[in-house]
Homo-oligomer: A and B are copies of this chain.
Amino acid sequence: MAQRVKRIGVLTAGGDCPGLNAVIRAVVRTAHKNGIEVYGIFDGYAGLIEKRLRPLTETDVSGILPKSGTILGTSNRDNPFKYYDDKGDPANAVDVSEQVVKTIEYNDLEALVTIGGDGTQSISMEFFKRYGIPVVGVPKTIDNDLGGTDITFGFDSALQIATYAIDTLHATAEAHHRIMAVEVMGRNAGWIALHSGIAGGGDVILLPEIPFKIEKVAETIRHRIDSGKRFSLIVVSEGAKPEGGDVVVKKMVKDASEPIRLGGIGNRVAEQVEELTGIEARVTVLGHLQRGVSPSPFDRILATRFGYYAIDLIMKGEFGHMVGLSGRDIVSVPLEEATHRPRIVEPDGPLVRMSMDMGVGFGV
């Protein structure tokens, strides 16, 4: 495939996620094989605003496949269209997008690979539309809730540690005849809770997509006790909500720092279930362990395919698109699509239905 591109840039933005380094490695390896130089941009779009970028060598990407995190660094606050200073005051937000364009032109970057989630891809789309910057997006979200792709890397790895945690808590739950609640990631989509709940044999699974009645949760646990099972495992999405509005989360957000908010719904569920059943309940909040775990083989392969295909798109001149997985094939979708179809768990989907048929409670 004929190509003229000589130099491109790559950045990672948003929350880190196992597999980011695998994408970077694939981008660099593939680009070099095709005579394309790759500039690493540090800390997401911030690197383009602050002119922090440099060429990446084979050595830079050697041995990074098993490593979580990102050798480029990332940022949660790097939107050039609404950029605000270190104090982090959105009130001071300004548009510095032209500085980004200047940096791209100054360094002769003929294309940009932006690895990130919904927010990042929206920014990339904006640069593509408003300034005609030739961007190619690579989807990234540990929650697996991004549209335009069947699945994103990082999710399978998060599943590994979440399932391991459930396996581990099982022993203590059984020894102490306790209820063990484990809170996993998933603000708007319950994919991690649903999959790890099934894989770990959770007795109750609470998802953002299925508002729960705490009384129903207690019912499931009482039913287990009646059938001689003196312990229960509850898997809770951080975004799970009791029926009738997200009271819990709101309250938590109002008066506490993230860790408490993270622990919000899990703690609340445990306290209420303990009250209702009289069985001791404990909570574990996995939090960032889900991000830092070494990428699973599945995620390393998917991430590598994404990076490889991103260079393919660049050489074809197919910009304003994002790579994605469809069935077994890597495809490309317009950024609009990607950023407008969040993927959430269908309350009557096959996995939920199967779990219900097998006796798992969803608090309904």
Contacts and interface: CB of A to CB of B under 8 A. Distances in A.
A15 B284 CA distance: 16
Nearest to A34: B357
A174 interface: yes
B259 A283 contact: yes
Contacts of A75: 176
B172 A73 contact: no
A135 interface: no
A355 to B, nearest CB: 9
Contacts of A260: 263, 267
A195 interface: yes
A241 interface: no
Give how many copies assemble into the complex.
Answer: 4
Nearest to A230: B73
Contacts of A33: 357-359
A300 interface: yes
A343 interface: no
Given A171-B67, A357-B308, A297 B196 contact: yes
A176 B270 contact: no
A187 to B, nearest CB: 16
Given A75-B176, A199-B301, A285-B287, 19 more contacts: A12-B175, A16-B175, A26-B358, A30-B357, A33-B358, A58-B227, A65-B199, A68-B172, A74-B176, A86-B278, A160-B297, A200-B297, A257-B267, A259-B270, A263-B263, A284-B285, A304-B358, A305-B350, A330-B350
